[in-house]
A and B are shown apart, each in its own frame.
Chain A
Amino acid sequence: MAARRNIPVGLLFILCSLTFLIATNTHETTSTSEHPDKAVNLPEKSTETGGQTTEQPAVEERQWEPTEFQEETVNDAAAEKQDATPPETTTTSAGAHPKDDFQEELVIRPLQSGDVYASFQFRTLWETDFMKGNKVSHYRLFPKSLGQVISKFSVRELHISFTQGYWRTMQWGQPFMPSPPGAELWVWFQDSVTDVDGTWKELTNVLSGIFCASLNFIDSTNTVQPSASFKPLGIGNVTDHRFLRYATLPREIVCTENLTPWKKLLPCGSKAGLAVLMKSEKLFHSSFHSQAVHIRPVCQDSECTTTSWELRQTLNVVFDLHTSGQGKREWSLFKMFSRTLTEACPLASSSKIYIDITDNPQGEQFELTPATHLLSQAVVLGDRRTFSVYDLTEANTFGSMRSLNLKTRPKSGGYIHYQPSKDRVRPHLLEMLVQLPPNSVTEVTVQFERALLKWTEYTPDPNHGFYVGSSVISALVPSMVAMDTNNTKERPLFSSFFPCKEESSYFVRIYTEPLLVNLPTPDFSMPYNVICLTCTVVAVGYGSLYNLLTRSFQIEEPNPRLAKRIANVIRRLRGVPPLA
């Protein structure tokens, strides 16, 4: 009896030890593939995670020195900067994982009108292939949700932006990343996709969930396939526009609900690095707010032997200092974002802040504190601008002179592609290739008619009107400075977004204001009444014609007196012939 009892106990003991052994083994191997968000909660925890990589036998000890920050000084312009001893960044060994790299930067440019333009860019580069058969499951810096979107929907390029406000080009110059008001999504699919429209529909719904935005309103009535513009920004010389889809939702409003999932896609989240500054109560209290996600394949080197996937998350904000109660033109990072920078994101290979000091070469307009001797010059939007750089990790130097080189541009013939709309199926698409003569004004006018829709097709606020999305102008503008055509060279993020094909011109994309059109509305309270009244009129016609068709003329007999009539009724009942 005892032996019988002992056997199950023994088996149980063996099972427990086996599971314990297996668990310890997997714990070591899975620790390296933990989600980056969970991995970096606090600096202390990241030390432990970094130390648990199986490839490194020696556990790295990283000392986090207390960061000292200076109080904001009252100057004409002050920038706040944390002097942090750059901690050693976690290096990933090439071992089993493809190489991935994360960079973050913030560009602050004071504008002519006194506003401040802040542009965040976060770039993750990952040498992997989503398209091959092997499923990618070890996500580190690249967010898993977007990786799965790319592989499931065979996306080649994805560009999505959410914007609140309209960019005032006359007062603010050109933005680094143009975007139209509302939401804009354009996607290039891989050649292997058979049903592009179905994939597009699923993709918009999934993105709607990821970004907590109502992108599910994108359907065939607001999707187009441009044939001349929106060429791929990454590698790939596709010319088949069947795989391109473009949609815009001008009514879409951006709020904290959209910012939160966007921030979650970053490797450090909003806990470390530049993303710490992104707090919604200040970000949305601005004149212009735009957040975007761009995914595209890029070449790693100039011969393009290896390609990697690039994910760029950008956030452009324009703060109006006058509304925030600041009389003088002074700003600080704390005043703009109501947060201070503590340290760089430990997973970032570079973390920099650029302040545009082109308008202030000798320091006569404003003064930056803490001062820095690191200067960088970059050519952006056809103009050479000088930036003072604050490197949150370690110092780098950029810049060298480019040589001027002129090239004649080939003349392009006029090209017009027009796809008229079908009611309730697809929108109008008008694409024109125009050569604009200098010092002139070109007007494009379109005649339109307002339509009356069915009463169920109006939005709940029909008197607000209907939005017509922004027009897009994509142009190659002659550059005053030679642009660098080597796109794989190391450059600041803000000047390397649009690939440069020629030295003498740069690419610019401008969005116009959306149009708000007031349509005539029927009376929404009247469906029953209208149906009854119209059917009455039709019945009047039917009744008159029926009478005239089925009856004939007879001589009218006068009606007998009442008593006689009653008597006739009784006689008829009795079966007796009636009175005369």
Chain B
Amino acid sequence: MAAPLTVVLIVAVTVRACLFRSSLADLIAERVEVVSPLNAWKRVVEGLALLDLGVSPYSGDVFHETPLIIYLFHFLVDYAEITFMVSSLSSHIVLYCLLLSLIVTSCCLFVDRYLLNPFTVLSCVAKSTCGLNNAIVALFILSTIKKNALLSAIFLALSTYQSIYPVTLCAPAVLYLLQRQYIPVNVRWASFWWFLLQYAFMYLGSLFVIICLSFFLLGSWDYLPSVYGFILSVPDLTPNIGLFWYFFAEMFEHFRLFFLCVFQINVFFYTIPLSIKLKEHPVFLIFMQLAVISIFKSYPTVGDIALYMSFLPVWSHLHRFLRNIFLVSCVLLACSALFPVLWHLWIYSGSANSNFYYAITLLFNVAQILLVSDYFYAFLRREHHLTYGLYLKRKDGSEATLVLK
């Protein structure tokens, strides 16, 4: 087990080091699919420069990172490449430990999917702070799996502090910890409420501490509208691989607020129904939540996609029930190839227009939705077969087909 891990790490470090040293690094750092206004490295540098100049980094509209990131990179700006590589490697190691404890079968050949995933490589080489976010989410999941409620709450608070959406991961974490402590998820049980209260207290307490720390670091609350107001109100319409940018570029002013609320609620909306359906399977719930966040968040990048895709090996046993996997993988590959082509045609050649890039965005997101719902279908089907047997027969003895009704 260790040998393949070391090999993978060495290969990954080599690949990243080569790319950092080549001229591709600048090219990748500018790609809109890899960086977004929230996590671009150029903006971190700009924010640090503004801080040195004595101007608040949040006085303009360029910098949207949290104050803790400023102070982290205040000391590490010269070692940025090493920082991102380390965070990438550490997330991989964390995921590796995670997957080892989660994988049902002994098929561990695909545990290296995170590090060697081209999306992750691109995200790391571009020095997008998405890598740091992914590392924190991975640590959160690991601490949850290891039944450490305090660490889990702290990492979740850090992750929520970075971008608001991981707050929906509270539900699977609580469900998993309840499950491990053999507390049934029943509103009538006092221990259920007691544990919920404990976790909520730990989570909210650490969140409060982190926010107050940020206030004292910079001495003002400027960062709240700049970071969270920016994530929620989507003023910047830079193209990316998500659905928000073109929608709000072409939105009628009268309906802008309405659709903004609809789209933001859409991210948080699936938490409760999914939690109710999957309360016995919190790990799959984590995967579903991560996927929903990555698809429907306001500024998605390929780094977010890499995170939930790295969980797919855990459910390699579902492959026999997947229906659309070929279509989905073809569409994802084709779209990934077409993104830079159509961007070039739109911006540089001028022979295409924004609709081309937008169409590929739509297709990419449809493919992701199809992938996620396909895995969900396969999971539910497998659960059904676990209960009722694999080969089902109809009343007259012929082979039956299962449908959703």
Contacts and interface: CB of A to CB of B under 8 A. Distances in A.
Interface of A: 416, 418-424, 428, 447, 449, 451-456, 520-523, 526-527, 530-531, 533-534, 537-538, 540-542, 544-545, 547-549, 551-557
A51 B332 CA distance: 92
Interface residues of B, number: 57
B381 A538 contact: no
Contacts of B376: 544-545, 548
Contact of B247 (A421, A520, A530): A530
A540 B295 CA distance: 13
B148 interface: no
A553 B403 contact: yes
Contacts of B53: 416, 418
Q: Interface SS of chain B: helix, strand, loop or mixed?
A: helix
Interface of B: 42, 50, 53, 55, 59-62, 235-239, 243, 245-253, 259, 263, 266, 270, 273-274, 277, 295-296, 346-347, 353-355, 358, 362, 365-366, 369-370, 373, 376-377, 380-381, 384, 392, 394, 400-405
Contacts, number: 137
Contact of B354 (A420, A421, A521): A521
B238 A534 contact: no
B220 to A, nearest CB: 16
B235 to A, nearest CB: 6
Contact of A523 (B270, B295, B347, B354): B354
A522 B246 contact: yes
B282 to A, nearest CB: 16
A453 B249 contact: yes
Nearest to A455: B250
A542 B274 CA distance: 12
Contacts of B248: 454
9 contacts: A418-B53, A421-B60, A454-B251, A530-B250, A531-B259, A538-B263, A545-B373, A553-B405, A557-B394
B199 to A, nearest CB: 25
Nearest to A526: B250
A533 to B, nearest CB: 6
A451 B238 CA distance: 6
B142 to A, nearest CB: 27
Contacts of B370: 544
Contact of B362 (A456, A520, A537, A549): A537
Contacts of A552: 384, 404-405
Contacts of A428: 60
B251 A419 contact: no
Contacts of B249: 452-455, 522, 530
A540 B250 contact: no
Contacts of A447: 42
A57 to B, nearest CB: 68
B250 A531 contact: yes
Given A523-B354, A548-B376, A556-B400, A537 B277 contact: no
Given A423-B236, A549-B277, 13 more contacts: A420-B62, A421-B60, A422-B61, A454-B248, A523-B353, A527-B250, A533-B362, A534-B246, A534-B247, A537-B365, A538-B266, A540-B369, A555-B392
A531 B50 contact: no
